[in-house]
Each structure stands twice: as C-alpha cells, then as structure tokens.
Amino acid sequence: MVGAAGLAASGQSGAEIPRRPLGRTGLEVSALGIGGYHLGSADSDAEATQIVNEALDAGVNFFDNAWEYHQGVSEERLGRALKGKRDRAVVMTKVCTHGRDKNVAMRQLEESLTRLQTDHVDVWQIHEVIYENDPDLIFAPNGAAEALLEAKQQGKVRFLGFTGHKDPSIHLKMLSHNFPFDTVQMPLNCLDATFRSFESNVLPEVNRRGIAALGMKSLGGSGELVSQGAVVVTMGLHYAMSLPVSVTISGIDSLGVLHQNLEVARGFQPFSAAEMQTIRDACRFDASDGHMELFKTTKKYDGDLGREMHGFPSSAELPA
C-alpha cells in the first residue's frame, strides 16, 4: 500500500481550499467538489443538508448531481440544502437520455430544475456515456446534443459537458464531434494512470482544447483502492487533485468523510512530478487487471436505466 510516509498528503488546517478556473467559462471552482450520488446515500435529509452547508462554509462551491441519482432524491436534497444560498454554488446536473431523443432531455431538465429549486443549472452534462454507440445516438438528428444547445439558448443552463466511466476511446469519440463542450468528466486516480488510462488518453486532449476536466472516482467509486489496499485515502485523493483538473468530485455520504476530505483540500499543494511518478509506479501491479477499477472492467457501476435503454440485463440480473 502506498501510504503517507515520506509524502505530505494532507493540506494545512485552517488554510483555504484553492479555487481553479473552470476551463474557459470564466467561473472559478473549488479544487474539491461534492458528488451528488453519495448525497443521496447519506443517512438522512438532515445530514445531507449539513454536508452541503459545511462544505459551502469551508469554501467548496462545486456540486455534482444527476437526474437519475436515487430517483431524484439526490437533486431534491441538494435543492433543499442550497435554498437561499444558490448563488454561492456552481450547480451541475446531468441528463439521462441514454440514447433517447431531445424531448426526453428537455423534460428531464425541467424536472431537475424543479427538484433543485432553481431556474438554471451552471453545468448540464450528458450522463453515463459508456456504451460504444452512445456518441452516435447523442449526435443523431434530434438527439441529446441538440437539447444541450437549445437549453443553453433558453438560458436554463450556462455550460455544457458529458461524463462517463468506461473507456477513454468512447470519450475521444465524443470529442471527435467537435461539439462546444465546456466540461468533460472522467475517472482519474492513481490506478487509472496505468490502466485504460483517462489520464494519459483523454486529459491531455481536454486540456489542449481548453475544456474543463472534472475528475471522479479518485478512490475507485466505493473506496476499492483503499479497502483493497492500493493506497491510503489522503494519498489517493491528493494524487487525483494534483492532476490538471478543475475539480475532483468526491462522493461524500457522511460528515466524517467530509471532514477527512476537507483536510486534504485545505491549503492544497499538488504533488511534484517525481512524487506522482512514484505513486503511479507503486500502483502499477494493482492496476494491471482492473480489479479495483470495477467501473471500467465490470457492469457494476452501469446504471439500470442505461442498461434498459441498451438492451442489457438489469443490475439484479447481471451485477458485474
């Protein structure tokens, strides 16, 4: 396991959480963001509200979500928690057409806005671009790409993006359409660095185009990198945050996890290139068959709605 010995992996207590430009949007976002899925997994509405409020007060301003997380509960929780504080937050949510048309997308946007109790989202992304034909379906006539442009024109969303956790080649296929994406979200962690790597294959391209990179799954999605012994929490998060990304979105389902991650983010200083290489090398063997990055190698992290739209068995029938 790569531990903290020799490498200072936590930030400085009391210092501020750094802000970074969100690509060319003109917005500045905190280096640590709050993941929406886990907000829906928190024990209660009250704890979710407290997570959001404490995060805001600590200087976190980026909040992730998706129309389909917990059947809307994640968006509702975020909407309630941000009531009266909406303008302090950069709110992102995602549209879940999974290949269906523009009308489905526009309907979902209205539902997201209602649940989030706002008249606009700052970033609207296409969710879970993980099937090989998703780019074709998204850019087909009357597809989701048209919905993105229309929503922007209507002022209901400010910036556009997409996300997926499966394969760099699918992300690159999306980018090849030269659509004016402002953000691209992807898994980035110290094992990804040497296995079906978004860090090597997608991140440089996104940086080159001036698109904001949003990192996720810094610890494997459910902490697999830690529970299976590849890396300690602080080191894994610090690695992900040291990459050239605007924000690292972290799943936080309790105040305990929030406090732990805020400690890494406060006064954050990126690892040096040599330190990054040391960590990559130490993780190389664990990375080599993808058994801790299950979102790439199994069906475990692929949502049921997307599976249904693509004719795949549900998670109950085909868990991994």
Cα distance between residue 20 and residue 214, in whole Å: 11
User: Between residues 92 and 230, which has the closer beta carbon with respect to another protein?
Assistant: 230
| Shortest reach from residue 294's CB to another protein, in Å | 8
| Shortest reach from residue 289's CB to another protein, in Å | 4
User: Between residues 1 and 318, which has the closer beta carbon with respect to another protein?
Assistant: 318
What is the contact surface with another protein in residues (CB under 8 A)?
131-134, 136, 195-196, 228, 288-291, 294, 297-299, 310-313, 316-320
* First-residue to last-residue Cα distance in the chain: 25
- Burial (0-12, 13-18, 19+ Cβ within 10 Å), 273: exposed
Q: How far is CA 284 from CA 194, 230, 239, 298, in A?
A: 6, 10, 14, 19
User: Between residues 273 and 316, which has the closer beta carbon with respect to another protein?
Assistant: 316
User: Between residues 110 and 136, which has the closer beta carbon with respect to another protein?
Assistant: 136
User: Between residues 134 and 199, which has the closer beta carbon with respect to another protein?
Assistant: 134
| Shortest reach from residue 104's CB to another protein, in Å | 18
Chain-centroid distance, C-alpha 5: 29
| Shortest reach from residue 173's CB to another protein, in Å | 12
- Say if CB 198 and CB 204 are below 8 A apart: no
Instruction: Concatenate the DSSP letters of all residues of 151-216 into one string.
Output: HHHTTSEEEEEEE-SS-HHHHHHHHTT----SEEEEE--TTGGGSS-HHHHTHHHHHHTTPEEEEE
| Shortest reach from residue 73's CB to another protein, in Å | 23
| Shortest reach from residue 148's CB to another protein, in Å | 21
> Whose CA is closest to 112, among 129, 92, 128?
92
User: Between residues 133 and 176, which has the closer beta carbon with respect to another protein?
Assistant: 133
| Shortest reach from residue 39's CB to another protein, in Å | 24
User: Between residues 122 and 293, which has the closer beta carbon with respect to another protein?
Assistant: 293
How many CA within 13 A on the CB side of residue 150?
A: 14
> Whose CA is closest to 123, among 87, 148, 96?
148
Maximum Cα interatomic distance, the chain, rounded to a whole number of Å: 55
